[in-house]
Structure 1
Amino acid sequence: MHNLLPFLPGSITNVLGSIPFFLPEFYLAVLFIVVLVTDLLFGKNSEKLCRIVAWAGILLVMQRDYQQIQLLTIGGLANGHFFFGDMLLLTRTAISFKLIIDALAFALLLYFSWDDKLSAHPKGLSDLYTIVVGSIFGLHLMVMAVNLLSIYVAIEMVSIASYLMVAYRSENAFSTEAGLKYVLFGAASSAIMLYGISLLYAFTGSLNLYTGNFAGGLSVANEAASSVALVLVLVGVGFKLSFVPVHFWVPDVYEGAPTPVTAWLSTLPKITAFALLINFLMPFINYPQWHSFNFGLALSAISMITMIAGNFAAVLQSNVKRMLAYSSIGHTGFALMAIVTFNATGQSALIYYLAVYGIANIAALALATYFANVTGAENVEGYKGLGHKYPVASVCFIIVLVSLTGIPVSAGFTGKLLVFSAVYGVYQQTHSLWPLLLLITGALTTVVSLFYYIKIPLNLFLKRSENAANSTVKSYNILIFAMFVSALIVLLGIFPNIILKLF
C-alpha cells in the first residue's frame, strides 16, 4: 500500500485532466441514472417521461460530442489524445462515429414506441430506455477503446444491453429462442475473444495497443501462435460486425427480436464495431516491420465471402426482417472493403457509407413496422397490392430500398461510389489482385441485391391482393419519419458534402 502512495498524485492529475475529453460519456452516465430513477419514481406511468428525458439527454450529448472537435483543434491534438492512463483515445474519427451513433440512437428512441407489438408490453418501455442509454455509453467506450481490457469491457457492456433488448419482448417461443440464441453465441464469442486477449498479453506483456511496443513485441513471437491470438480477437469483433463465419445468429435473432431492436442491432453495434476494428488494426498497419499476419489478405477474403453469402442468402428469403438481416450481412462485407484500404480516403468513405446505411436501414425496418401495424403483413407476399392503398409509405419504402441497393441519385449510391473509389485508388497504386477482386465482388453482389430488394416494390404495386379490407390502424408517426428520411436520402445523394464536411 505504501509503495503506491508516490504514484497517487500523478494518477489523480491524470484522471482530472481526462475529464474534459470524457464529458459526453459523463453526461450519458448521469442520463442513465436519471432515466432509471424516473422509472423507479413514477412506475408504469413513467414511460412517456423517460422517453422525453432520454431524447433531451441524447441531444445534449450530441452537442458535447461536437464540442470535442473544438477541444482537439484548440489543443493542437490533430492526431488524437490518450486519456485515463492510455485506456481511451479521442480522435476526430472517433468523434465522427460518436455523432453518428447518437444521431441514430435519437431516431431509434423515437421509433421504439411506434411498434405496436413492442409498445403493448405489459411492463411498458421505461426499462428499455434505461437499457438503451446504458448501451450508448458502452458504444462510446468501444469507439475510443485502445487497451485490450477497455475493449473487452466496452464490448461486454454493449453485449449485455443487447441481450436484454432482444429478450425484452418474449410473448412467444420464437422470441424467447432468439434471445437465448443471442446470449449463447455472444457468450461463446466473448470467451474466444478473451482467450485471444490473454495470448496477446502473454506474448507482449502489454494490454495497450498504441503505447509501448505492442506490435513490435508481437512480431517477434511465434508467427503461428500470434496469428491464432489475433484471429481469436477478430472473432469477438466479428460477432458484432456479423461477418462470415460468425454470422449464424443474425437471421434468427433479427427475425425473433422486436423490429425496433432489430433496427438497433443492425446499425449501432455494427457501426461501432467498425470504429473498434480501425483502432485495433492501426498499430499493426503503421508498424513497418509487421509481417506476422496479413490483415489485408484476411479481411479481403472475409469481405468477399460475406458479401456473397449475405446477398445470395437474402434472395431466398420471404420474411422481410429475415431478408433485411441477410442484407445487413452483405452490407458488412461491403463496408469491409473500405477498411482494407488502410488509408484516410477509405476511412472517410466508410464513415459516409455507414451513416447513410444506418439511416436507410432504420427507415426500412420502420416501414416494415408500419405495414405490420396497419395490415399485419410480415412476409413479402403480404405486401401484394398495398402500394395502391398506402402510396406514401410504399413510395418511401422504394426510395429507402433504392438507397440500400446503391442506385443513383440516392445517398447509398454515393456511399458505394466512395467505397469503390477508395478501393480502386489502392488498386492503381499497388496493382494487387485483391483490390481488383473486391471491386468485382462488390459490383456483382450489388446487382444480386436488386433481386431481393425488388421483391417489395414488385408486390406493392405490380401484384394484386385478394384481401381488400381497409385497416383502422394508422401509424402516422412512422409515415412522417419515413417521408423525412426519404427526403434526406435524396438530399445526401445529391449533396454528399453535407456529411463529408461535418465528419
Structure 2
Amino acid sequence: MHDLIPFIPGSVNDVLGSLPFFLPEIYLTALFILVLITNLLFGRNSEKLCRIIACAGILLVIQRDYQQIQLLFMSGRLNGQFLFNEMLLLNRTAINFKFIIDALAFVLLLYFGWDNRLKSHPKGLSDLYTIVIGSVLGLHLMAMAVNLLSIYLAIEMVSIASYLMVTYRSENAFGTEAGLKYVLFGAASSAMMLYGISLLYGFTGSLNLFSGNLLPGLIQANPVAVSFSLVLVLVGIGFKLSFVPIHFWVPDVYEGASTPVTAWLSTLPKIAGFALLINFLRPFVYFEKWDGFDFKLALSIIGIITMIAGNFAAIMQRNVKRMLAYSSIGHTGFALMAIVTYNSTGIAALTFYLAVYGLANIGALALATYFANALDADDMNSYKGLGLKYPAASVCFVIVLVSLTGLPISAGFTGKVLVFSSVYGIYQQNHNLWLLLLMITGALTTVVSLFYYIKIPLNLFLKRTEFVKNTLIKSQNIIVLSIIISVLIVLLGVWPDFLFKLF
C-alpha cells in the first residue's frame, strides 16, 4: 500500500487534467441523472418532459462534441489526448464518431414517441429515455476506449442498456423469446471476450493497448494461444457489429423488438463498434515488430462471408424488419472493407458510409412504423397498392431504399464509391488478392441487394390489391421526419463534400 502513495499525486493530476476533454460525457452523466430524477418525481406523467429534457440535453452534448475539436487544436494535441491514465483516447476520429452517434440519437429520441405499439406501454416511455441516455454515454466510451478494461466496461454498459431496450415492450411470445435470445447471446459473447482479455493479461501483465508490455509481451508468448485470445476479444466486438458468425441473434431480435429499438440496435451500437475496432486494431497495425495474428486477413475473410450471408439471406425474407436485419449484416461486411485498408482515407470513407447508412436505415424503419401505425402492416405483401394512397411515405421509402442499395444519386452511392476507392487505392500498391476479392464481393452483393430492396417499391406501386384496410392512425410526424431524411440523402449524394470534409 505504501508503495502506491508516491503515484497518487500524479494520478490525481492526470484525472483533473482529463476533465476538460471529457465534458460531453460529464454532460451525458448529468443528463442521465436529470431524466431519471424527473421520471421519479412525476411518474408516468413525466414522459413528454423527459423526452424534451433528453432531446435538449443531446443537442447540448453535440455542441460540446464540436468544442472538443477546437480544444484539441488549441492545446496542440491534434494526434489525440489520452485520458484517465490512458484508459481513453480522444482524437478526431473518436469525435467524428461521437458526433454521428449523438446526431442519430437525437433523431431516434424523437422517433421513439411516434411508434404506437411502443407508446402503448403501460408505464409510458420515461424509463426508456433514461436507458437511452445511459446507452449514449456507453457508446461515447466505446468510441474512445483504448484499454482492454475500459473496452470491456464500455461494451457491457451498452449491452445492459440494449437488453433493457429490447425487452422494454414485448408484443407477443416471439418478442419475449427474441429478448431472451439477445440476453443469452450477449452473455455468452461477453464471457468469451472477458476470458480472452484475461488470457492477454496473463501473457503480458498489461491491459494498455498503446503502452506498457502488452504488444511486446504478446510477441514473446505462444502464437497459437495469443491468436486464440485475440479471436475471443474479437467475438465480443463482433457481437456489436453482428458480423458472421456472431450474427445469429440479429434477425429474431430485430423482428421481435419494437421498431424504434430495432432502428437503435441496427445503427448506433454498430457505429460505436466500428470506432472501437479502429482503436483496438491501431497498435497492432502500426507496431512494426508484430508478426502474429493477421487481423487484415481475418477481417477480409469475415467481410466476404458476411456480405454474402447477409445479402443472400435477405432475399428470402417477407417481413420488412427481418429483411432490414439481414441487410444490416450485409452492410457490416461492406464496412469491414474500409477497416481492412486502415489508412486515413479508408477511415474517412468508413465514417461517411456509416453516417449515411445510419440515416437511411432509421428512415426505412421509421417508414415501416408509419405503415404499421396506419394499416398494421408488417410484411411486404401488406404494402400492395399503397403507393398511390400514401404517396409521400412511399416516395420517401423508395429514396431511402435507393440509398441503402447504393444507387446514384443517393448518399449511399457516394459512400460505397468512397469505400471502393479507398480499397482500390491500397490494392494498387500491394495487389493483395483478398482486397480484390473484397471489391468483387462488394460489387456483386450490391447488385444482389437490389433484388430484395426493390420488393418494397414493387409492392407499393406496381402490385394491386382488391381490399385496403382503413387507416388506423396517420403519423404525420414520421412523414415530416422521412421527408427531411430523404432530402438529406439526396443532398449528400449530390454534394458529399459538405459532410465528407468534416471527417
What TM-score comes out, normalization by structure 1 length?
0.99
3-state SS of 1:387 partner: coil
- 1:113 Cα offset (Å): 0.5
Work out the percentage of aligned pairs sharing the same amino acid. Answer: 75
Which residue in the other structure is 2:122 paired with?
122
Does the CA contact (< 8 Å) of 1:216 and 1:287 recur in 2? Answer: no
Does the CA contact (< 8 Å) of 1:149 and 1:207 recur in 2? Answer: yes
Deviation string 1:455-480 (CA, Å, 9 cap, x unpaired) is: 00000000001213431411000000
3-state SS of 1:318 partner: coil
Which residue in the other structure is 1:187 paired with?
187
3-state SS of 2:82 partner: strand
For residues 80 and 229 of structure 2, what CA distance do their matches in structure 1 show? Answer: 28
Which residue in the other structure is 1:457 paired with?
457
| Matching residue's letter, 2:31 | L
| Matching residue's letter, 1:387 | G
Does the CA contact (< 8 Å) of 1:87 and 1:147 recur in 2? Answer: yes
For residues 363 and 216 of structure 2, what CA distance do their matches in structure 1 show? Answer: 45
- 1:447 Cα offset (Å): 0.2
3-state SS of 1:82 partner: strand
| Matching residue's letter, 1:228 | F
Superposed counterparts of 1:145-294, under 5 Å: 145-294=145-294
Deviation string 1:276-298 (CA, Å, 9 cap, x unpaired) is: 00000010000111111111110
Deviation string 1:148-170 (CA, Å, 9 cap, x unpaired) is: 00000000000000000000002
- 1:19 Cα offset (Å): 0.2
Does the CA contact (< 8 Å) of 2:375 and 2:472 recur in 1? Answer: no
Superposed counterparts of 1:275-354, under 5 Å: 275-354=275-354
Deviation string 1:112-152 (CA, Å, 9 cap, x unpaired) is: 00000000100000000000000000000000000000000
For residues 171 and 263 of structure 2, what CA distance do their matches in structure 1 show? Answer: 19
Does the CA contact (< 8 Å) of 2:69 and 2:92 recur in 1? Answer: yes
3-state SS of 2:341 partner: coil
Which residue in the other structure is 2:435 paired with?
435
Deviation string 1:407-453 (CA, Å, 9 cap, x unpaired) is: 00000000000000000001100011111100100000000000000
Does the CA contact (< 8 Å) of 2:170 and 2:256 recur in 1? Answer: no
For residues 390 and 447 of structure 1, what CA distance do their matches in structure 2 show? Answer: 28
Deviation string 1:92-111 (CA, Å, 9 cap, x unpaired) is: 00000000000000000000
Give the stretch that moved more between structures: 168-177 or 412-421: 168-177
3-state SS of 2:146 partner: coil
Does the CA contact (< 8 Å) of 2:148 and 2:208 recur in 1? Answer: yes
Which residue in the other structure is 1:58 paired with?
58
3-state SS of 2:471 partner: coil
3-state SS of 2:153 partner: helix
Which residue in the other structure is 1:367 paired with?
367
- 1:501 Cα offset (Å): 1.8
Give the stretch that moved more between structures: 294-303 or 208-217: 208-217
3-state SS of 1:491 partner: helix
Which residue in the other structure is 1:139 paired with?
139
Give the stretch that moved more between structures: 3-12 or 387-396: 3-12
For residues 401 and 201 of structure 2, what CA distance do their matches in structure 1 show? Answer: 45
Deviation string 1:295-336 (CA, Å, 9 cap, x unpaired) is: 111000000000000000000000000000000000000000
Give the stretch that moved more between structures: 216-225 or 131-140: 216-225
| Matching residue's letter, 1:414 | T
For residues 214 and 77 of structure 1, what CA distance do their matches in structure 2 show? Answer: 24
Does the CA contact (< 8 Å) of 2:373 and 2:472 recur in 1? Answer: no
Closer, same or farther: CA 316–472 of 1 in aligned 2, 3 Å:
closer
Which residue in the other structure is 1:83 paired with?
83
Deviation string 1:219-262 (CA, Å, 9 cap, x unpaired) is: 22111110000000000100000000000000000000000000
Give the stretch that moved more between structures: 414-423 or 464-473: 464-473
Which residue in the other structure is 1:4 paired with?
4
Which residue in the other structure is 2:466 paired with?
466
After superposition, the CA RMSD in angstroms is 0.8
Superposed counterparts of 1:88-107, under 5 Å: 88-107=88-107
- 1:214 Cα offset (Å): 2.0
Which residue in the other structure is 2:489 paired with?
489
Which residue in the other structure is 2:498 paired with?
498
Which residue in the other structure is 2:388 paired with?
388
For residues 472 and 434 of structure 2, what CA distance do their matches in structure 1 show? Answer: 54
3-state SS of 1:340 partner: helix
Does the CA contact (< 8 Å) of 1:112 and 1:260 recur in 2? Answer: yes
Give the stretch that moved more between structures: 472-481 or 133-142: 472-481
User: What is the number of residues matched between the two proteins?
Assistant: 503
For residues 314 and 469 of structure 2, what CA distance do their matches in structure 1 show? Answer: 30
For residues 139 and 50 of structure 1, what CA distance do their matches in structure 2 show? Answer: 20
Flag structure 2 segments of 5+ consecutive residues without an equivalent: none
Flag structure 1 segments of 5+ consecutive residues without an equivalent: none
- 1:4 Cα offset (Å): 3.0
For residues 392 and 324 of structure 2, what CA distance do their matches in structure 1 show? Answer: 21
| Matching residue's letter, 2:76 | G
For residues 100 and 251 of structure 2, what CA distance do their matches in structure 1 show? Answer: 25
For residues 77 and 472 of structure 2, what CA distance do their matches in structure 1 show? Answer: 57
Which residue in the other structure is 2:13 paired with?
13
